Amino acid sequence: MERVKLRGIAAKLLGQVLTQNSSLDHAMLGLADYSVQERAQVFEWVSSTLRLLGRAEWILNSLSDRKKPSGNLGKLLKIAIAQLLSQDTPSALVVSETLEAIKKLEGKGPAGFANAVLRKVSDRRLDWQAWTITEKTGRDEIAAWASVPRSFSDRAWNELGFDQFIKFFESANQRPKTWYRKLGGGDLSRAEPLLLERGVQGNEPPGFVQDTGNQQLCLWVSEVVRARFSAPMSFLDWCAAPGGKSLDLADRGHIGVALDPNELRLPRLRENVARLKFQDRIEIGHTPTWLEQDKNKDRRFDLVWVDAPCSASGIIGRHPEVRWNRDWADLGPYVREQRGIVDSALPFLSENGILVYSVCSIFREERDVAKPAHQKFEAFTSGDFSDGLRALAYSR
């Protein structure tokens, strides 16, 4: 399929993600009949636009004297501007493909307007790519530069401080790299992150895709539990899918249960466990069903790991749609859910066991949620990792 038509498809998916609060991965399911290359191109355009949508809208608004462009015209312009900001594709090619797509969908008049806008952006492409902010920059522009809603930006600015704010969003607004966790057979020295420069090709050594932050977290947890227990230790992975934590623990010789409350996520978990032949080390269960079974009520585990559902503010680089489909002014619903999960998981912790609570959030309200709810437990160590990952280890 020609790239001009793919731009129209990308505009449709962008609208679906933004108006229906759909995840990009879910929206991409509608492209199952397209080639791998076509899906990859659409995904790249839409994900980069979601990552830089705030900047694209700021630029577009500054160049639009009349009514702000909406519909297909607005979406195609934002995709083009994001591409000019984040990629090295020649400006002339970006402009020509976008104009052809707009002509097909909207007509010659809107295409003329788009041509004028994109020529101005192209003329200042290097300036826009080098866009910076200072501590004196206005809050609306700061949010646009960070490419998040103002409520997210204000909260992050107040909690992180200027230097960490800049560092976090400079990373979050870049295309994320694909990292791979090779199996080490229990040998920690062999469990090293592997950068997949071209993405997953199918010829990788045994292992699984896992970002460096989660690999750091898993190594930290393994060191925490190794100081208290010898392998094989028993573990309960409370929010397990797609399985990275359980796979890591099993690779280090431990045996346990991987639960997830979302039945739609279980097939991928089962697939990963079977592919790496860990069925004898990892029992898989749907959380409500597992809890109802009498045989499980008296089970206790050395490690209970609650990697809690959260706002996902720390991983907006890998999941850029998260920026736009959350209520950042109120994290209360996440905190209440997190506390409820910890309450449900605690009865399964052995007397001398360790509770690990982790989230991929940069906000304190979520990062320390287990502390006030369970005064009889004390956090004896904690860790901070890339992607906003935070973990606390508790014991009685």
pLDDT tens, position by position, 209-244:
999 999 999 999 999 998 998 878 999 999 999 999
Q: Does one domain contain both 195 and 331?
A: yes
* 102, 131, 160 - which closes a domain: 131
Largest CA distance in the chain: 72
Cis before 309 (ω within 30): no
Does any domain span residue 168? no
Does any domain span residue 141? no
Greater confidence (185 vs 317) lies with: 317
Q: Does one domain contain both 119 and 203?
A: no
Cis before 110 (ω within 30): no
Q: Nearest to residue 17, comparing CAs of 326, 329, 325, 328? A: 325
Residue 377 has pLDDT above 90, yes or no: no
- What span, in angstroms and rounded, lies between the C-alpha atoms of 267 and 272? 9
Residue 354 has pLDDT above 70, yes or no: yes
Does any domain span residue 136? no
What is the mean predicted confidence (pLDDT) over 51-69?
91
What is the mean predicted confidence (pLDDT) over 173-195?
80
Residue 47 has pLDDT above 70, yes or no: yes
CATH number of the domain to which 116 belongs: 1.10.940.10
Residue 73 has pLDDT above 60, yes or no: yes
Q: Which domain holds residue 235?
A: 178-395
Q: Are 379 and 394 in contact (CB under 8 A)?
A: yes
Q: Does one domain contain both 308 and 241?
A: yes
Across all residues in the chain, what is the average pLDDT?
92
Does any domain span residue 149? no
258's tokens: 């991987």
Q: Does one domain contain both 104 and 237?
A: no
E-assigned strands of the chain? 178-182, 193-196, 207-209, 234-237, 255-260, 282-286, 301-307, 349-360, 378-384, 389-395
- In this prediction, residue 363 carries a pLDDT of 94
Does any domain span residue 27? yes
3-state helix, strand, coil in the chain (%, to 5): 55, 15, 30
- In this prediction, residue 8 carries a pLDDT of 96
Residue 370 has pLDDT above 70, yes or no: no
Q: Does one domain contain both 299 and 190?
A: yes
Q: Does one domain contain both 331 and 214?
A: yes
Band of pLDDT at residue 190, cut at 50, 70 and 90: low
* 76, 108, 131 - which closes a domain: 131
Does any domain span residue 139? no
How many domains does one find in the chain? 2
Q: How many CB atoms lie within 10 A of CB 111?
A: 19
- In this prediction, residue 372 carries a pLDDT of 45
